[in-house]
Structure 1
């Protein structure tokens, strides 16, 4: 069953400022008053499933034989509550992404149990941030993310933080931003995250959202790993700039808690991604 968070809450204009990225002024922006209703239940892909639907899921055996992906993982948020990590590991989970933050004012109540518990159970884990280009600059959200669990350490067990980019749960799909401004916002987040951790963040998105809201930008394909969301039997078209996905979120329901993912490679390659 598709788990879609509530959407459509109203927002109000909060402040206006001119955003600057890489030394060049972007168009004047009006930020909205932060609204985090539904954030604890909102998970990676909740808005993608709501807007794009679910058209099936791949046969695991077929996918493993054709794409040579041998690593099954999942992602969780406050929607799942506390997770039985030994059971998840016993059921085949090798990695997990855990929602840590949203915007600059929300942290998941279940983050510590999910993030630390998965590590104790032997999973490779990482944290993700639900991006909100409507409420603050990208760098501010990257710093908030790192300060609240989204950092990275070179221990071979921690994946680089991920930036979740999907349809606005409170209004217009692209947060009332032009594609050039969305691209600049992502770059601002990515640069700040790298300056804090030494790693560029993974980018989580769907091809449809990427086309609509970034103009199908090619700016990140060579620098940021791709975590693709598509709930269908086939991966389909990738966003521009990427030759392959590192992770495919193929279902929002399955045998593991949360959303279901395949890593595009073998266990040693997943460890290499974590190690940097």
Structure 2
């Protein structure tokens, strides 16, 4: 609703010529390729409104129903962003959700206005929680975006309840899937982000991505799997083929239509293992 109100406020007071030019620009952005994502008003998505998994359904689709979670081997989680607003964390906890990630930042230009309620609220009901950064490699360098993330909620503390930060690197909802970068350029950008995050926090960041995007935009680069945990996105009955470099996943985003909050996930281990992972 905030994005709709913002759009309407921008429209009011414009001349017909400005309206026509803006509409034409929006149309060109929207039809520039299947990568462009529209907001609820039908126009191009505004910067800042991206979220984890925004392109999964459009590019990979969904198939099958994931098997029931076994709490001895997997732990249920959820990821949220500003479009969820204030979250009923108690209801999620009572439904079996034990960990959560909140979007903190995007690029070097956006912070989640609901971050405090989402990040602190999950912690307050007993969840292990962390934060993620939606990467936009076409707007600023990897190191600069890592700094912005750490400075606006992306830090880590060794308290057993704070998960390492996540680099959400996936389809560009604002344009070209690979943000105009070559495979080597994308790998270099990711490396810069991960290196700066490690130097700032002492932890290796988790990489959230989808196998098909990783193949297309990094050229199946296999150099991060030995160090950085993987959070893979696939809405299906199995996790499927993992991106190059990883033989196991740490987390799996398995649906965008979960109870209470759409985006649900599984940690590949028991709740005890989850807390050990948070502790580093």
Decide: shared fold, TM above 0.5: yes
What SS does the corresponding residue of 2:185 show, helix, strand or coil?
A: helix
CA change 1:131–1:8 in 2 (3 A) is farther
Partner residue of 2:150? 146
Candidates 53, 57, 66, aligned match of 1:45 = 53
In structure 2, how many angstroms separate the alpha carbons of the residues matched to 1:47 and 1:212?
14
TM-aligned CA deviation for residue 146 of structure 1: 0.5
TM-aligned CA deviation for residue 8 of structure 1: 7.9
What SS does the corresponding residue of 1:195 show, helix, strand or coil?
A: helix
Please state if 1:55 is matched with 2:63.
yes
Q: How does 1:64-83 map to 2 (within 5 A)?
A: 64=70, 69-83=73-87
Candidates 135, 138, 151, aligned match of 1:134 = 138
TM-aligned CA deviation for residue 9 of structure 1: 7.4
Partner residue of 1:21? none
Partner residue of 1:255? 259
In structure 2, how many angstroms separate the alpha carbons of the residues matched to 1:54 and 1:95?
23
Q: Unmatched 5+ residue regions in structure 2?
A: 1-25, 31-43
Partner residue of 1:165? 169
In structure 2, how many angstroms separate the alpha carbons of the residues matched to 1:36 and 1:199?
32
Candidates 200, 203, 209, aligned match of 2:204 = 200
CA change 1:112–1:8 in 2 (3 A) is farther
TM-aligned CA deviation for residue 56 of structure 1: 3.0
TM-aligned CA deviation for residue 36 of structure 1: 7.6
In structure 2, how many angstroms separate the alpha carbons of the residues matched to 1:79 and 1:141?
22
Candidates 100, 107, 115, aligned match of 1:111 = 115
Q: How does 1:170-249 map to 2 (within 5 A)?
A: 170-249=174-253
In structure 2, how many angstroms separate the alpha carbons of the residues matched to 1:165 and 1:242?
16
Partner residue of 2:12? none
In structure 2, how many angstroms separate the alpha carbons of the residues matched to 1:128 and 1:137?
17
RMSD: 1.9
Partner residue of 1:31? none
For residues 38-95 of structure 1, give each alpha carbon's deviation from its aligned partner in whole angstroms, at most 9, with x where no partner exists: 523x22001122222122331215xx39xx6331111011111100111111110100
TM-aligned CA deviation for residue 258 of structure 1: 3.3
For residues 20-45 of structure 1, give each alpha carbon's deviation from its aligned partner in whole angstroms, at most 9, with x where no partner exists: xxxxxxxxxxxxxxx981523x2200
TM-score calculated relative to the size of structure 1? 0.84
Q: Unmatched 5+ residue regions in structure 1?
A: 1-6, 12-34
Count, aligned residues: 242
TM-score calculated relative to the size of structure 2? 0.82
